[in-house]
Amino acid sequence: PAHGETILEARHVTRRFGGLVANDDMSLEVHAGEILALIGPNGAGKSTLFNQLSGVDTPTSGDILFMGQRINGQSSRRIASLGMSRTFQHVKLLPEMTVLENVALGAHLRGGKGVLSAALRLDRAEEAELLAEARRQLERVGLGDHLYAEAGSLALGQQRILEIARALCADPCLLLLDEPAAGLRHKEKEALGVLLSRLRSEGMAILLVEHDMDFVMGLVDRVVVMEFGQRIAHGLPEQVQKDPAVLEAYLGG
């Protein structure tokens, strides 16, 4: 997609869980080549929205458009094949497998083959191609020196970057990252920020959930703020930071 073009759009997305409205008439747009931060207090509905966008869950009402297609109710595999890739709030690694195996296996599962075929029938050529792609993406994110380390032995910051490498294997134009910086030390956050900026300069669009305002403000192009399932503010980082509704949501509690 051309830089700046709208690639993902949530239109009036509502997701109810029984009586609880986790997403309430939520709308947002992501443009090609930008980093958009989705921020808001715990329980605001950010991860729920990610699930609607990525096909992990289906909205109660509203529409999601990606690359010009309505994708509500489509499988996460199908959506991934259109160019959207995501990570989850909690790291999902196989700690005793190598870094390379973790990324290759993730790529395989994203490729639509399913867990059973992943375990049972990977032909040699396919396996070689997966490992080559995994290696390329690990080198791209700066983990090329750790291919054969046990994934569980990596520092948390490196594990998060491993997950990004895994998401990159599907050759996405949009990455959804759910709290990639949570719990990281300052240096690790810096390294993550450098990586995300570099991916953006390569044309990648990134939608990320983040709590650390300082991290967000120095990095992202635009911000959408959620509270109680709704969008309460959006705009440039420096605008949003001064928005009374945002200050109230964060400080007023």
Residues making contact with ligand ADP (CB under 6 A): 17, 20, 22, 40, 42-48
52 binds Mg ion (CB under 5 A): no
User: What residue 102 binds from Mg ion, ligand ADP, none (CB within 5 to 8 A, per partner kind)?
Assistant: none
Q: Which residue is nearest to Mg ion, using beta carbons?
A: 47
Structure token pair of residue 175: 């990455």
Nearer to ligand ADP, 48 or 76 (CB): 48
Out of ligand ADP, Mg ion, none, what residue 42 binds, judged by CB under 5 to 8 A for its kind, is: ligand ADP
Would you say how long the chain is, in residues?
Answer: 253
The Cα–Cα gap between 198 and 184 comes to: 19
Part of the chain binding Mg ion (CB under 5 A), chosen from 41-49, 97-105, 154-162, 219-227: 41-49
3-state secondary structure of 199: helix
Nearest residue to 91 via CA among 37, 136, 152, 22? 152
Judged by CB, which is closer to Mg ion: 20, or 194? 20
Nearest to 82 by CA among 94, 100, 70: 70
Q: Which of residues 192-231 bind Mg ion (CB under 5 A)?
A: none
Token pair 């992202």 is found at 220
Contact (CB, 8 A) for 165 and 141? yes
CB-count exposure of residue 15 (10 Å: 0-12, 13-18, 19+): buried
Q: Which residue has the tokens 């992990």?
A: 56
**DSSP secondary structure letter of residue 143:** -
Q: Which is nearer to ligand ADP, 46 or 234 (CB)?
A: 46
**Least distance (Å) from ligand ADP to the CB of residue 165?**
23
Single-letter code of the amino acid located at 177: L
Q: Is 47 in the site for Mg ion (CB under 5 A)?
A: yes
Which amino acid would we find at residue 89? Q
Site for Mg ion in 54-113 (CB under 5 A): 89
Amino acid at 147: L
Task: Give the Cα separation of 226 and 139 in Å (integer).
Answer: 35
- Unique residue bearing structure tokens 């650390």: 212
Q: How far is the CB of 148 from Mg ion (least distance, A)?
A: 33
Output the smallest distance, CB 100 to ligand ADP, in A.
Answer: 31
Stretch that binds Mg ion, among 15-23, 43-51, 56-64, 72-80 (CB under 5 A): 43-51
| Nearest distance from C-beta of residue 231 to Mg ion, angstroms | 16
Shorter beta-carbon distance to ligand ADP: residue 105 or 224? 224
Positions touching Mg ion (CB under 5 A) are: 46-47, 89
